[in-house]
Chains A and B, each alone.
Chain A
Amino acid sequence: MMEAHKPDREMSASGSVSTVSREDNLVVSSEDSSSPDDSELELGLELSLGGGGFKQQATSGGHYARILTAKDFPSVVSSSSSLSSSSSSLSKTNHVTAGTKRSADSVAAAANATSQVVGWPPIRNSRINCTVVNQAKSIANEEYNSVIEKNKRKNTVLEKITNSCNNGGNAKGRTSLFVKVNMDGIPIGRKVDLNAHSCYETLAQTLEDMFHRPTTTVNAFRSSLQEHDIRVEATRPSKLLDGTSDFVLTYEDKEGDWMLVGDVPWGMFLISVKRLRIMRTSEANGLAPRLQESSWRQRNKPV
Chain B
Amino acid sequence: MESYSKRKRECPSSPESTQPSSFPDEVLERVLALLTSHKDRSSVSLVCKDWYNAERWSRTRVFIGNCYSVSPEILARRFPNIRCVILKGKPRFSDFNLVPHNWGADIHAWLVAFANNYPFLEELRLKRMAVNDESLEFLALNFPNFKVLSLLSCDGFSTDGLAAITTHCKNLTELDIHENGVEDRSGNWLSCFPESFTSLEVLNYANLSSEVNFDALERLVSRCKSLKVLKVNKSISLEQLQRLLVRAPQLVELGTGTFVQELTPRQCAELESAFNNCKNIHTLSGLWEATVLHLPALYPACSNLTFLNLSYAALQSGELAKLLAHCPRLQRLWVLDTVEDKGLEAVGSNCPLLEELRVFPADPFDEEIIHGVTEAGFLAVSFGCRRLHYVLYFCRQMTNAAVATIVQNCPDFTHFRLCIMNPGQPDYLTNEPMDEAFGAVVRTCTKLQRLSVSGLLTDLTFEYIGNYAKNLEVLSVAFAGSSDWGMQCVLGGCSKLRKLEIRDCPFGNLALLSGLEKYESMRSLWMSACKLTMSGCRRLAREMPRLNVEVMKEDGSDDGHADKVYVYRTVAGPRRDAPPSVLTL
Contact = CB atoms under 8 A, between A and B. Distances in A.
A101 interface: yes
A62 interface: yes
Given A11-B504, A119-B93, 13 more contacts: A9-B554, A11-B529, A15-B480, A15-B504, A15-B529, A56-B426, A64-B426, A65-B479, A125-B95, A125-B97, A135-B362, A142-B370, A174-B316
Interface stretch (A46-54, A211-219, A243-251): A46-54
A170 interface: yes
Interface stretch (B58-66, B193-201, B288-296, B323-331): B288-296
Contacts of B181: 125
B364 to A, nearest CB: 5
Interface in A164-180: 170-172, 174
A127 B365 CA distance: 13
Interface stretch (B110-118, B241-249, B335-343, B537-545): B335-343
Counting chain A residues whose Cβ lies within 8 A of the other chain, the interface size class is 35 or more
B424 A49 contact: no
Interface in A52-107: 52-53, 55-56, 61-67, 96, 98-99, 101-104, 107
Contacts, number: 205
A61 B425 CA distance: 13
A131 interface: yes
A202 B529 CA distance: 50
A9 B312 CA distance: 29
Contacts of B317: 170, 172
A135 B362 CA distance: 7
A51 B311 contact: no
B506 A56 contact: no
A3 B419 contact: no
Interface stretch (B31-39, B159-167, B555-563): B555-563
Contact of A157 (B261, B363, B396): B261
A140 B365 contact: no
The 5 nearest A-B residue pairs measured at CB: A119-B96, A138-B314, A64-B424, A53-B428, A44-B368
Interface string B406-424: 0000000000000101111
B222 to A, nearest CB: 29
A289 interface: no
A110 B98 CA distance: 9
Contacts of B316: 140, 172, 174
Contact of B397 (A49, A56, A110): A49
A303 interface: no
Interface string A107-140: 1001100010111111111111011011101111
A2 interface: yes
A34 interface: no
Contact of A118 (B97, B153, B207, B260): B97
Contacts of A48: 370
Contacts of B419: 121-122
Interface in B43-88: none
Contacts of B369: 139
A9 B367 CA distance: 19
Contacts of A9: 529, 554
B299 to A, nearest CB: 19
B363, B394, B424, B505 — most chain A CB neighbours (10 Å): B424
Contacts of B561: 1, 13
Give the dominant DSSP class at A's interface.
loop
Given A53-B425, A120-B423, A1 B338 contact: no
Give the dominant DSSP class at B's interface.
loop
Nearest to A46: B370
A42 interface: yes
B317, B428, B476 — most chain A CB neighbours (10 Å): B428
Interface in B353-372: 360-371
Nearest to B311: A127
B51 to A, nearest CB: 41
Nearest to B482: A61
B360 A47 contact: no
Interface of B: 93, 95-98, 153, 178-181, 207, 260-262, 288-289, 291-293, 311-312, 314, 316-319, 336, 338, 340, 342, 360-371, 374, 394, 396-397, 419, 421-426, 428-429, 431, 433, 456, 458, 476, 478-482, 503-506, 529-531, 554-558, 561
B396 A172 contact: no
A101 B311 CA distance: 23
Contact of B554 (A2, A115, A160): A2
A135 B561 CA distance: 39
A149 interface: no
Contacts of B370: 44, 46-49, 142-143
Contacts of A140: 316, 338, 340, 371
A150 interface: no
Contacts of B394: 121, 123
B363 A131 contact: yes
A131 to B, nearest CB: 5
A7 to B, nearest CB: 12
A5 interface: yes
Contact of B556 (A5, A50, A131, A174): A5
Given A11-B529, A66-B422, A135 B363 contact: yes
Given A50-B428, A101-B366, A124-B95, A142 B371 contact: yes
A231 interface: no
Contact of B423 (A1, A17, A123, A189): A17
A102 B365 CA distance: 6
A101 B368 contact: yes
A131 B369 CA distance: 14
B506 to A, nearest CB: 4
A98 B423 contact: yes
A127 B558 CA distance: 34
Nearest to A108: B97
Nearest to B374: A50
A123 B424 contact: no
Nearest to A56: B431
A124 B365 contact: no
Nearest to B338: A138
B506 A14 contact: yes
Contacts of B360: 123, 127
A126 B97 contact: no
A159 B293 contact: yes
A124 B153 contact: yes
A158 interface: yes
A228 interface: no
11 contacts: A5-B556, A15-B505, A65-B479, A123-B96, A123-B361, A125-B95, A135-B362, A137-B314, A138-B314, A138-B338, A172-B318
